[in-house]
Amino acid sequence: MNTFSTLLVSAHQDALLTEAAAERLARSSKPQASRPNPVAAAVKNVWSLLSGPAERPMTLPTLTNYPFRG
């Protein structure tokens, strides 16, 4: 029984590998739509966070009468 189940699992894995290869081939044959670069998007997001306070000042609490100041 163990040999039979091993054969079934191997056949199923082969079918999945064949299907994945066919999907990769189909995906590579059609033209790619231009996608934005994820690294550039992340850099732009970080840059906007760093340059934000100059455009809109951050509101920080005042430390007058703060009980834990040193």
**What does the alpha-carbon distance between residue 45 and residue 52 come to, in Å, rounded to a whole number?**
10
What pLDDT, on the 0 to 100 scale, is given for residue 32? Answer: 67
Say which DSSP state 30 is in.
S
Total-model pTM: 0.42
Residue 6 has pLDDT above 70, yes or no: yes
Largest CA distance in the chain: 79
What pLDDT, on the 0 to 100 scale, is given for residue 53? Answer: 53
> What would the pLDDT profile of 17-68 be if each residue is shown by its tens digit?
999 999 999 888 777 667 677 888 888 877 777 665 555 666 777 777 777 7
Which residues, in sequence order, are CB contacts of 63 under 8 Å at separation 6+? 69
For residue 26, the surrounding DSSP H or E stretch is: helix 2-29
What pLDDT, on the 0 to 100 scale, is given for residue 56? Answer: 61
**What does the alpha-carbon distance between residue 58 and residue 60 come to, in Å, rounded to a whole number?**
6
What pLDDT, on the 0 to 100 scale, is given for residue 10? Answer: 93
